[in-house]
Amino acid sequence: MKRVLFGILFLIGLGTAVPSLAARQSGAAPLPGTLLATATFAGGCFWCMEPPFEGQDGVVSVTAGYTGGQTKNPSYEEVSAGGTGHAEAVQIVYDPARISYEKLLYIFWHNIDPLAVNRQFCDAGRQYRSAIFYHDGQQKAAALESKDRLQKIHGWKIATEVVPAGAFYRAEEYHQNYYRKNPIRYKFYRQGCGRDRRLQELWGK
């Protein structure tokens, strides 16, 4: 579905102006000597998972990429075909003194459909699964606790995986900050995929 929509969006956007391709870091630059941490989340299309984290105080950068599979240096086409084992994901570098991992988890959960198995919204396949890739024991404990809490509060059976972080491969440059570079195409895709409608049903936002 995403590949079909992407082709449609490309044709629609041929006549639109494309903003600067320079990658944008989120928030203020960290002070020298600041100890930074990394968080990695998969929530379906990475175009839609960058905006919620960017601009958050304490978030230094958000990178779209691929992780969780066996293929080294995969391309977008390879991941989209479903044979690499990778999921589209975002990797966040943040300052734990300014934003907690728990806050990042909250943002993550409220921007995905945790009930969907091997898909998110209109995109189907393991490459669009939802997952939390933890980088240490504290992140693992926090992720499992938040998942368990949501299941108890809502009575849900959450499909989101909580697994160790592995190699993360940065996606092609045209995918970075896609929502900024191609706002019309991004809006068309997001609306067509029914993402906001489903998030409203789940989270009331």
| C-alpha 95 chain-centroid distance | 19
Tens-digit pLDDT profile for residues 165-181: 999 999 999 999 999 99
Domains of the chain, start order: 39-184 (3.30.1060.10)
Residue 188: CB atoms within 10 A of its CB come to: 16
HEC string for the chain = CHHHHHHHHHHHHHHCCCCCCCCCCCCCCCCCCCCCEEEEEEECCHHHHCCCCCCCCCEEEEEEEEECCCCCCCCHHHHHHCCCCCEEEEEEEECCCCCCHHHHHHHHHCCCCCCCCCEECCEECHHHCEEEEECCHHHHHHHHHHHHHHHHHHCCCCCCEEEECCCEEECCHHHCCHHHHCHHHHHHHHHHHCHHHHHHHHHCC
pTM: 0.85
Tens-digit pLDDT profile for residues 46-58: 999 999 999 899 9
The set of catalytic residues is 45
Query: Does residue 61 register a pLDDT over 70?
Result: yes
CB-CB contact of 150 with 156 (8 Å): yes
- pLDDT of the residue at 34: 78
Query: Does residue 76 register a pLDDT over 70?
Result: yes
- pLDDT of the residue at 3: 52
- pLDDT of the residue at 205: 62
Tens-digit pLDDT profile for residues 109-157: 999 999 999 999 999 999 999 999 999 999 999 999 999 999 999 999 9
